[in-house]
A = this chain, B = another copy of it.
Amino acid sequence: MSVKVNVDLQKERQKCNFNMQEVTFIFDCGKEQTLQRKKIENIALNSGASIDAVPEECLSLKERYDNAVRKSCIYSRIVKNELLEITGLEAFGSPLLRRMADAFFKDISPFMLHLGMFVPTIIGQCTAEQQAKWLPRALEMQIIGAYAQTELGHGTFIRGLETTATYDPETEEFVLHSPTLTSYKWWAGGLGNTANYCIVVAQLYTKGQCHGTHPFIVPIRDEETHEPFPGVKVGDVGVRMGCNTADNGFLSFNHYRIPRENMMMKNAKVLKDGTYVKVARHDKLTYGTMVFVRVTLVKEAAINLAKAATIAVRYSAVRRQSKPKPDAPEPQIIDYQTQQHKLFICIATAHALQITGDWLWRTFRDVLTEMRGGNTDSLPELHALSSCLKAISTSDSAAYIEQCRFACGGHGYMLSSNLPLLYSFVTATRTYEGDYTVLLLQTARFLVKAWEQVEAGKSVTPTVSYLTLAATKEKVLWNDFAEGIIRSFQAVAAGKISACAETIKRHMKTGMCYEDAWQLTTVRLVAAAESHCRSVICQTYWNEIARLTASCSANVKIVMEQLVTLYLVYWALERSGDLLRYSTISEKDLNRLQDRYEELLALIRPNAVGLVDAFDFRDEILQSTLGAYDGRVYERLMEEALKSPLNDEPVKASFHKYIKPLTKGKL
């Protein structure tokens, strides 16, 4: 394949001074993963099945849905027949398969939650007997499932869900019912028009008593005709900011009956006579699934940001604008310091999040092993970590994707750049599976407890051992080595957490109860949790890069260290107010940091295109007119424009019907 590559991009690639493949291995978290990924990409993408003749966004809603189903079926067949053998069952819904799915769907497949939630929940919540019944059918795609928990009236507060499942011992059935409008299930992906089964989370009533929320497998549409069953009301929730091919649906029940056996009974049972039996470890294991999903979201945040950075950096190497010097040609916009300031932090952050996500993933697996042995001591720490990392990574990623879009000016606003869709996808992950603010407050609760332990002279878990820094009430000594910056971030976090604890006490002294005092400290608590999370990311990124580059070639070590240093210095400057309050950093130190930051931008500049090339996204995955490997930016913008149905015919119906009568004064 001989593709003409933009000359400026070619020159950039010649400038790259490091071994790109080594960096690809780092970003993929290992050589094996890279090789596996490439194998999967070849199988999934080389057939061309992922490519649309007309861009998705030009289709009507119904056409988009039908097209997404078409591609989902092709993709499912590939996953079922070829990919699962390579990745194994646990890759379901993993970032690796997700990265592939991105080539098929600009946002999301209507089958995604079948693979990502329905199947894993069957594995996690069904008895062996139930698994034997449902799992093979689900894996073979004989049935297609959704997962419905959130309702119109309740998302964050699960205990407040209103859908009821009332056991009727006469018929040995559960009666599902939606008593109010707010009890309608809302948001479940794949539910609107696709799934014929749905896992429904409902308040379980038996023998007149409520036992809280439990999951049920509910047939909602006829397997033969696809018609919703009587007593089931199901449909699409309406158009969304993004994820419009995810088929998000609503669902309500009118005294709808399902067999007793359809309650997922691994963690709790209802016997034939209606007796409720709880099995131990229910909550802890549910916890586990939640952490798993969050880890996945952290890694997705990293990958999507890496895509945006690839698009914006390549475009910035191709785009030339303005003439700061009358006699010189227009510079590539990547040569502007402000552009480097917008983009290089995105490259660094993509690595930071990918590395921290992977570290969290490994920590999670260790904890899972411990848990299987009955030890759940690490769970609160892991929960606190996964909460804040999910919050910060999705929020940072979304904000930086927007920054990449801004950096591409008007052309970034074209959907064909793919930047708007990347944003609309990632910004959704900021909210679902735990809202940003709610999650940071969960982390804050853990942090305040940890601080109380430190105050009481007790030992604490590793990620919060730095809290002892706050005990002295003295500013930490500033130094601008990486370790010094990280130490200062820890001092900031420790200082803020201890200040929060004091604020809570101060409020309580006025007679408030703990919960009111907590409430009046939440703005500070969110900030404290953010500082904690930032210090964890900084430390993990720094430690892991040293480990991961240990056997790398010299220039890879250099450029990777430049990136992590950029990340640390960037955040030190962003949080100068915090550092001035909790460390001995001086005005002079801050000026030196700013100089160093700008030097780093200049040092990274020649390798910028090499760094995004090393993320190794195929054009099918980037789906971007601005970011394709060949840099044919303007040609692609024009080619995409011509695909719009608005360019099918030169004169539209509305001219004759409205415009002409208007201009002729006859309307």
Interface centre among A55, A142, A522 (most CB of B within 10 A): A522
Alpha-carbon distance A638/B182, docked complex (angstroms)? 10
- Do A337 and B520 touch across chains, with their CB atoms under 8 A apart? yes
- Contact in complex: A667, B77 (CB < 8 Å): yes
Determine the distance from Cα of A638 to Cα of B251 in the docked complex, in whole angstroms.
11
Does the CB pair A663–B409 fall under 8 Å?
Answer: no
Is there an interface contact between B436 and A413, defined as CB atoms closer than 8 Å?
no
11 extra interchain contacts, Cβ-Cβ under 8 A, other than A406-B430, A520-B598? A60-B645, A61-B644, A66-B657, A73-B658, A159-B323, A184-B638, A228-B650, A235-B644, A236-B646, A337-B522, A576-B580
Are A336 and B580 neighbours in the complex by a CB distance under 8 Å?
A: no
Judge whether A615 is part of the interface by a CB distance below 8 angstroms: no
Closest to A515 in B: B324
| 8 A Cβ contacts from A224-253 to B | 225-228, 235-242, 250
- A420-B241 CB under 8 A given contacts A580-B581, A594-B524: yes
User: Does A287 lie at the interface of the complex (its beta carbon under 8 Å from any beta carbon of B)?
Assistant: no
Asked whether, in the complex, the Cβ of B409 is within 8 Å of the Cβ of A62, the reply is no
Would you call A659 an interface residue if the criterion is a C-beta within 8 Å of the partner chain's C-beta atoms? yes
Q: Does A432 contact B (CB under 8 A)?
A: yes
Q: Which of A147-155, A163-171, A346-354 contacts B (4 or more CB under 8 A)?
A: A147-155
Q: A140, B646: Cβ atoms under 8 Å?
A: no
Q: Does A194 contact B (CB under 8 A)?
A: yes
Is the Cβ of A153 less than 8 Å from the Cβ of B634?
Answer: yes
Chain B residues within 8 Å of A61, by CB: 58, 60, 644-646
A29 to chain B: which residues have CB within 8 Å? none
Does A70 touch B at the CB level, under 8 Å? yes
* Given A57-B239, A69-B659, A651 and B409 contact (CB-CB distance below 8 Å): no
Check A369 for interface membership: any CB of B closer than 8 A: no
Residue from the set A70, A77, A237, A579 with the largest chain B CB neighbour count within 10 Å: A237
Give the residue among A142, A601, A650 with the most B Cβ atoms within 10 A: A650
CB contacts (< 8 Å) of A664 on chain B: these are: 142
Q: Is A623 an interface residue (CB 8 A)?
A: no
Inter-chain contact A321/B160, CB cutoff 8 Å: yes
Query: From A57, which residue of chain B is reached at the shortest CB distance?
Result: B239
Name the contact of A62 in the complex, choosing from B325, B526, B579, B646 (C-beta under 8 A): B646
Look across to chain B and name the residue whose beta carbon is closest to the beta carbon of A180.
Answer: B634
CB under 8 Å from chain B, chain A span 116-143? 140-143
A414 at the B interface (CB under 8 A) = yes
Does any Cβ of B come within 8 Å of A356's Cβ? Answer: no
**A150 near B581: Cβ-Cβ < 8 Å:** no
In angstroms, how far is the closest chain B Cβ from the Cβ of A37? 26
A59 to B409, CA, bound (A): 28
B58 touches A646 (CB 8 A): no
**Is the C-beta of A209 less than 8 angstroms from some C-beta in chain B?**
no
Complex: A340 Cα to B199 Cα, angstroms? 36
Mark each residue of chain A from 640 to 661: 1 if its CB lies under 8 Å from any CB of chain B, else 0: 1111111100111111011111
Residues in B with CB closer than 8 Å to A424 are 420
A474 within 8 A of B: no
Cβ–Cβ < 8 Å partners of A594 in chain B: 524
Interface contact B70-A638, CB-CB below 8 Å: no
Mask of A421-461 contacts with B, CB within 8 angstroms, 1/0: 00010011011100111000100000000000000000000
Nearest CB of chain B from residue A387's CB, rounded to whole Å: 15
* Cα-based distance from A160 to B333 in the complex (angstroms): 14
Taking CB as reference atom, which chain B residue is nearest A436? B406
Cβ of A330 < 8 Å from any Cβ of B? yes
6 closest Cβ pairs, A-B complex: A577-B577, A576-B577, A60-B60, A241-B420, A69-B654, A236-B646
Closest Cβ neighbor of A652 among chain B residues: B193
User: What are the residues of chain B within 8 A of A432 when measuring CB–CB?
Assistant: 410
Answer yes or no: A93 CB below 8 A from chain B CBs: no
Contact of A157 among B322, B325, B336 (CB under 8 A): B322
Interface centre among A424, A441, A637, A658 (most CB of B within 10 A): A658
- Kindly report which residue of chain B lies nearest to residue A154, judged by CB atoms: B321
Question: Shortest distance in angstroms between A420's beta carbon and chain B's nearest beta carbon?
Answer: 4
Q: Separation in Å of the A238 CB from the closest CB of chain B?
A: 4
Please list 25 pairs of residues, one from A and one from B, whose beta carbons are closer than 8 Å in the complex, sorted by A's number. A61-B646, A69-B658, A70-B657, A72-B658, A77-B667, A142-B663, A157-B321, A157-B322, A186-B637, A187-B410, A192-B646, A194-B659, A227-B650, A236-B641, A237-B641, A238-B415, A241-B413, A337-B519, A338-B441, A410-B431, A413-B428, A520-B598, A523-B601, A524-B594, A577-B579
A378 interface contact, C-beta 8 A: no
Residues from chain B with a CB closer than 8 A to the CB of A642 are 235
Q: Which of A323, A341, A581, A662 has the most CB of B within 10 A?
A: A662
Q: Which B residues are in CB contact (< 8 Å) with A397?
A: none
Residues of B within 8 A of A462 (CB): none
A65 at the interface (CB under 8 A from B): yes
Is A76 on the interface with B (CB-CB < 8 A)?
A: yes
Minimum Cβ distance to chain B for residue A610 (Å): 23
Tell me, in angstroms, the Cα distance from A640 to B238 when the chains sit together: 7
**Chain A, range 175-202, C-beta contacts under 8 Å to B:** 181-182, 184, 186-187, 192-194, 196
